[in-house]
Amino acid sequence: MSTSSNQAEAFKALVHWLRDAVREPEQFTLSYAAESSAFVRFNHAKVRQAGQVQQASVGLKLIDDGRHADLNITLCGDAQVDVQRLAEGLQQLRDTLPLLPQDPYLLLNYTAWQSRNIQEHPLPDTEQVVAQITQAAEGLDLVGFYAAGPISRGFASSSGAFGWHQANSFNFDFSLFHDNGQAVKASYAGHDWNSEGFASRFAQAREQLAFLGRPQRTLAPGQYRAYLAPAALGEIMDMLGWGGFSAQSIASKNSPLQKLYAGDSSFSPLVSLDEKVSGSLSPAFSGEGYPRSDLGLIVNGKAGAQMVSSRSAAEYGLTANGASGGEMPSALNMAAGELPGAEILKQLGTGLYISNLWYLNYSDQPAARLTGMTRFATFWVENGEIQAPVSTMRFDDSAYSLLGSQLEALTAERELLLSASTYSQRATDSALLPGALISRLTLTL
Amino acid sequence: MFDFHPQLKQRFAALRTGAEFFSLRYVRESGQYLSVRKNVAEPPSLSRDEGAMLTVRVNGVETYAATNDLSQSGLQAALDKAEQHARRLKPHALLDLREQAVSSDRADYFSPNLDQPFPSLSDCYQLLGAESAAVPKDERLVNWQVSIGITHVEQIYLNSAGAELRQAQRFVYPGLDVTAYDGSDSQTRTLGRENFGQQGGFDVISRCGLVGAGPKIADQALQLLLAPNTPQGPRDLLLMPDQMMLQIHESIGHPLELDRILGDERNYAGTSFVRAEDFGSLQYGSELLNVTFDPDIPEQLASYGHDDDGTAASKQFLIKEGLLLRPLGGALSQFRTGMNGVANSRACGWNRPPIDRMANLNIEPGDQPLEQLIGNIEHGILMSTNRSWSIDDARNKFQFGCEWARLIENGELKGVVKNPNYRAISAQFWKSLSAVGDASTVKVLGTPNCGKGEPNQVIRVGHASPACVFSNVDVFGGDA
């Protein structure tokens, strides 16, 4: 397997070849994505399925006379074969462009920006990690997934832009199940696997597991005070991020936050939400070739910036700010509040402590009305003390209520949540979020 | 087609390993996604992908290594890595697969009409442009998009027991959506897209009804904008096939996946309200409910000859006359439980391992035409085209929403209502199935977007269903 530094050199070689191969007035952009991943899934504290995946691909865009087309090509790691594949791809795009009309929304970035971020912190041997996990889980019903390895992202253009992002990372996302079927979810993720750090995180989850042994309480549908832990709030933010801040969705009236951006609705002044690329784990440049900007998406409860891709910039007369084609945030940072962590249960008083939400979707998208389920470690609290785990319940409520009129407080402490998503490739998304105390959450089923 | 097969066979034959069993699954995939949005052609998105997954079994422990390097040395390196991994993980392994039987089948499978060329890129853009232009000029119509997605997949499976399985398939996904906006509310009406995909050629676009659909879909979006909200309260619910597919998927398909019942998915996709001991005894639905795993409908999205572990696929009843009979479990899950199953061990590509998935999961037709289904409803609602879905991790408490609905009173269709939602509990809902449409109401549908597994996989599944009626379901509308 090629090392990450070899990958950077291999990408540069493809870029050099392409710069020689394009013919004036052709232009190109070339993005790169590669990873070498160890994947281990656990069930009943044993290894259920394990493997390794090595993958690399480039995304080639060819532009000529206002026409353009995109081709994603899997690479094999052999320099000669990969150049051959790129040459075939270039020819395929050359054959395609004359069949297309000119694109009025083509907007290229002609700046020759440079970006380089390399983190090569060594990761532990997978079998050592597995041994630590199985040892810690001795006697417990652990189910989970460990993903680790280097990730590389690159970008280059015929205008001379060049970006390289490379990082080693791991993410152990796991649940501990009680005999009664209740479970607590946790994760240990980052760049530096530390045995003590892992043991500490595992111990926290194990402590919560003890509460789950109490007799379960079943709630009737109705309205309840509730505390949403950062992971639960993260599910709501993920849902809102799906088109919510997208310039195209807002303009085409498909955004769940269109009333916010129209000024017809607002969140609590406590809510300020940024897309904070600087210092995050994701690349500082987009796959379409723009450096990504830090953006204030919601400022004191009011609409702020939108996520603007180059296409939306051209179509709606906006300024591209490094959003990807999907215009979704990937480095959310929500302002902390003033509620100390130690005061959460006391301030909640009587109500629900919700660690995680699950499977959210819209009941009424233009009204930002969401539905979803409680999942993992949801507790009934009375007079500031945890009484019992709660059986799975459905909520159905507007985001303008949960984060607006009914938002009492945000916690002073925030949690950094690193995405465990591995659809097609390991995600680099993150969210730094507080917990939220809500005076009224509507449960429906 | 299969032009890499001779080389791959040679390289497979030259691989060296101490494993008791090993296999290679090679996948080559090419795709193209074309769309026209508001009469502007968007740049085509094309793709070419190929790679292989090698799986080894050493002392009963199976591991995999997937690689983009298809050279002899690349495949050997992946095999060595997998073998080493298997040996080192032995003390921690959950399963001992030494006794699990392996496939030695040899067969080919092809999508229907695969030999017929698909219309050229120019012809496709012309079609998309014409449909886009056919959307009427109305300032309330703020967004519309017409698209065609095409994916070609060639897969070759070889193993050390002599199996040699080749599949060549073409998947087609037509789509059209129109959004109407009145300054406050917006409503979208869709044809195809996430709700329609089939195997075949241009015939798929014809069956979808894309050609000539622009004005009708736009008119329905405008009707929704003017419609009142869906009233709240219990009603008989007539679900059309493009909502039935989601209903089947979420509250029959996922709960019957055997790996969920075995707990593999508890950290991600979830578990199931169904227990292993329920098969053969649980009355899942009313006696009108007949559910099959059916890989034999040629155009359906997940029809195939063998699954990705090499098991031959055949039609099986999972639920017959409401009685739960058989889970969705592939060869491995069957080995783990001793239960019957189906050939549904599937992977989304070369870089993800097979797990228990839905494939084609269908409801068998009943005996009532649509007019009769409607005529027998006193106080009800017809809902069509899924737009929202949410269900608990045991696949029991659900809430689903549709784009389009019409009230039914005294056996007659009445006015259009917007934001139709309904909620219920799977374990009770299917028992309220009170009428099943006949073959004339059946649509063969499917979606490319079923997510599951760690590492995550999104895979294509097919659902064919008649229109169905459920008694006394809690329905409600939106806020706007």
Q: Is A359 left (phi over 0), alpha (psi -120 to 50) or beta?
A: left
* Count of beta carbons in the 10 Å neighbourhood of residue B306: 24
Which of B174, B204, B226 is the last residue in one of the domains?
B226
Among A3, A31, A32, A52, the strongest candidate for a mutation testing the B interface, having the largest count of B CBs within 10 A, is A52
User: Whose CA is closest to B146, among B46, B32, B40, B31?
Assistant: B40
Q: How many domains does chain B have?
A: 2
Mean pLDDT of the B70-99 span: 97
Please indicate, yes or no, whether residues A235 and A349 belong to a single structural domain of this protein: yes
Are residue B370 and residue B348 in the same domain, yes or no? yes
| Residue A127: alpha-carbon gap to chain centroid | 27
Identify the sign of the CA torsion A410, A412, A413, A416: positive
Q: How far is B54 from chain A (nearest CA, A)?
A: 10
Residues B244 and B297 both lie in one domain: yes
* CB of A398 less than 8 A from some CB of B: yes
User: Does B415 reach chain A within 8 Å, measured CB to CB?
Assistant: no
The whole-number pLDDT of residue B443 equals 98
In this structure, the dihedral spanned by the alpha carbons of residues B65, B71, B76 and B77, taken in order and rounded to 10 degrees, is: -60
CB-count burial class (<10 Å; 0-12, 13-18, 19+) for A145:
buried
Residue A217 domain flag: no
**CATH code (residue B197):** 3.30.2290.10
Q: ipTM of the predicted structure?
A: 0.96
Q: Is the pLDDT of residue B412 over 90?
A: yes
Q: State the burial class of residue A227 (Cβ atoms within 10 Å of its Cβ: 0-12, 13-18, 19+).
A: buried
Please tell me which of the candidates A42, A70, A371 has its beta carbon nearest to residue B43.
A70
Q: Report CA B198 to chain centroid distance, whole Å.
A: 10
Domain annotation covers residue A320: yes
- Residue A311 in any domain: the answer is yes
Residue A200 falls within a domain, yes or no? yes
Partnered with residue B139 across adjacent β-strands are none
A371 in the same domain as A234: yes
B308/B334 same-domain check: yes
Do A195 and A286 share a domain, yes or no?
A: no
Residue B480 pLDDT level (bands cut at 50, 70, 90): very low
Q: Check if B480 contacts A (Cβ < 8 Å).
A: yes
| Contact (CB<8Å) B43/A68 | yes
pLDDT of residue A1: 40
**Beta partners for B287?**
none
| Mean pLDDT of the B443-452 span | 96
- Same domain for B260 and B192: no
Q: What is the pLDDT along chain A (445 residues), one digit of tens a residue?
A: 445 678 999 999 999 999 999 999 999 999 999 999 999 999 999 999 999 999 999 999 999 999 999 999 999 999 999 999 999 999 999 999 999 999 999 999 999 999 999 999 999 999 999 999 999 999 999 999 999 999 999 999 999 999 999 999 999 999 999 999 999 999 999 999 999 999 999 999 999 898 899 999 999 999 999 999 999 999 999 999 999 999 999 999 999 999 999 999 999 999 999 999 988 888 999 988 899 989 999 999 999 999 999 999 999 999 999 999 999 999 999 999 999 999 999 999 999 999 999 999 999 999 999 999 999 999 999 999 999 999 999 999 999 999 999 999 999 999 999 999 999 999 999 999 999 999 999 999 9
Nearest CB to B456: which of A51, A53, A422? Answer: A422
Indicate if B18 and B36 belong to the same structural domain.
yes
Residue of chain B nearest A252, judged by CA positions: B143
Beta-carbon neighbour count of residue A335 at 10 Å?
Answer: 18
In chain A, the number of structural domains is 2
CATH number at residue A76: 3.30.2290.10
Contact B392 A47 (CB under 8 A): no
Give the separation between CA B356 and CA A221, rounded to whole angstroms: 34
What are the CA-CA distances from residue A134 to residues A37, A139, B136 (Å)?
20, 9, 63
* Residue A248 included in any domain: yes
User: Which residue, among B268, B402, B454, would best test binding to A if mutated, counting the most A CBs under 10 Å from its CB?
Assistant: B454
* Closest residue in chain A to residue B48, using alpha carbons only: A73
**Is residue B274 located within the same domain as residue B413?**
yes
**How confident is the model at residue A3, as a pLDDT?**
57
Residue type at A375 in one-letter notation: R
Residues in A 287-346 with any Cβ partner in B closer than 8 A: none
Report the residue from A75, A92, A253 with minimal CB separation from B46: A92
- Looking at the structure, tell me whether residues B242 and B211 fall in a common domain: no
> In B, residues 188-207, which contact A (CB 8 Å cutoff)?
188
From the list A51, A21, A48, A20, the residue with the least C-alpha distance to A37 is: A51
Measured CA to CA, the distance from residue A76 to residue A181 in angstroms comes to 45
Question: B382 by DSSP, 3-state: which?
Answer: strand
The domain boundary, picked from A185, A211, A237, lies at: A211
User: Do B242 and B193 fall within a single domain?
Assistant: no
Which of 157-216 (A) contact B at CB < 8 A? 173-175, 177, 181, 183, 185
Q: Which residues in chain A are closer than 8 Å to B120, comparing Cβ atoms?
A: 99
Strand B379-391 relative to strand B233-239, pairing: parallel
Alpha helix segments (H runs only) across B176-296: 202-208, 214-226, 241-248, 258-261
Decide which of B226, B253, B282 is a domain's last residue.
B226
Residue B157 and residue B246 in one domain: no
Q: Which domain holds residue B429?
A: 233-476
Whether chain B has a CB inside 8 Å of the CB on A369: the answer is yes
Interface of B with A in 328-347 (CB under 8 A): none
Check CB contact under 8 Å for A361 and B401.
Answer: yes
pLDDT the model gives residue A2: 44
Distance from the first to the final alpha carbon of chain B: 53
Report CB contact under 8 Å: A76, B397.
no
* Choice among A24-33, B191-200, B308-317, B449-458 with the minimum mean pLDDT: B191-200
Find chain B residues with C-beta within 8 A of A365's C-beta. 186, 388
Residues in chain B with CB shorter than 8 Å from the CB of A183 are: 266
Question: Residue A390's Cα: distance from chain center in Å?
Answer: 28
Q: In B, which residues are within 8 Å of A96 by CB distance?
A: 44, 46, 121
- Which B positions 200-259 lie with beta carbon below 8 A of chain A? none
Q: Are residues B185 and B215 in the same domain?
A: yes
Phi, psi (degrees; rounded to nearest 5) at B31? -140, 160
Which pLDDT belongs to residue B225? 97
Same domain, B400 and B466: yes
Could you tell me if residue A32 is inside a domain?
yes
**B133 in contact with A, Cβ within 8 Å:** no
A-contacting residues of B 371-390, CB under 8 Å? 388-390
Which residue among B40, B93, B264 sits closest to A104, beta carbon to beta carbon? B40
Contact between chains at B454 and A131 (C-beta distance less than 8 A):
no
A165 token code pair: 């992002």
Q: Are residues B182 and B247 in the same domain?
A: no
Q: Looking at the structure, do residues A177 and A300 belong to the same domain, yes or no?
A: no
Q: What is the least distance, in Å, from the CA of B449 to any CA of chain A? A: 11
Q: Do B68 and A39 touch (CB under 8 A)?
A: no
Q: Are residues A262 and A407 in the same domain?
A: yes
First-to-last alpha carbon distance for chain A, in angstroms, is 51
CB distance A43–B263 less than 8 Å? yes
Helices (H), B178-240: 202-208, 214-226
Q: Are residues A36 and A70 in the same domain?
A: yes
Per-residue pLDDT reduced to its tens digit, B341-359: 999 999 999 999 999 999 9
H helix intervals, B15-161: 72-89, 121-133
Q: Up-side HSE of residue A156: CA atoms within 13 Å toward CB?
A: 18
Pairing of strands B421-425, B397-409: antiparallel
Say yes or no: A81 and A226 in one domain: no
Last residue of a domain, one of B170, B191, B226: B226
Domain annotation covers residue A35: yes
Cβ of A445 within 8 Å of Cβ of B423? The answer is yes
Whether residue A345 lies inside any domain: the answer is yes
A258 touches chain B (CB under 8 A): yes
Same domain, yes or no: A22 and A59 = yes
A40 and A161 belong to one structural domain? yes
Top residue of B83, B399, B421 to mutate, by most chain A CBs within 10 Å, is: B399
Whether residue A444 lies within 8 A of chain B, CB to CB, comes out as yes
In chain A, count H helices and then E strands: 10, 20
B47-106 residues touching A, CB cutoff 8 A = 47-51, 53, 62-71, 74, 77-78, 81-82, 85, 88-89, 92-95
Instruction: Quote the pTM value.
Output: 0.97
Specify whether A164 is located in the same domain as A47: yes
Q: Are A187 and A280 in a shared domain?
A: no
Domain final residue, candidates A153, A177, A211: A211
Q: Which domain holds residue A278?
A: 222-443
Q: Are residues A250 and A383 in the same domain?
A: yes
What's the gap in Å between the CA of A305 and the closest CA on chain B? 21
- B388·A362 Cβ contact <8 A: yes
State whether residue A117 sits within 8 Å of chain B by CB.
no
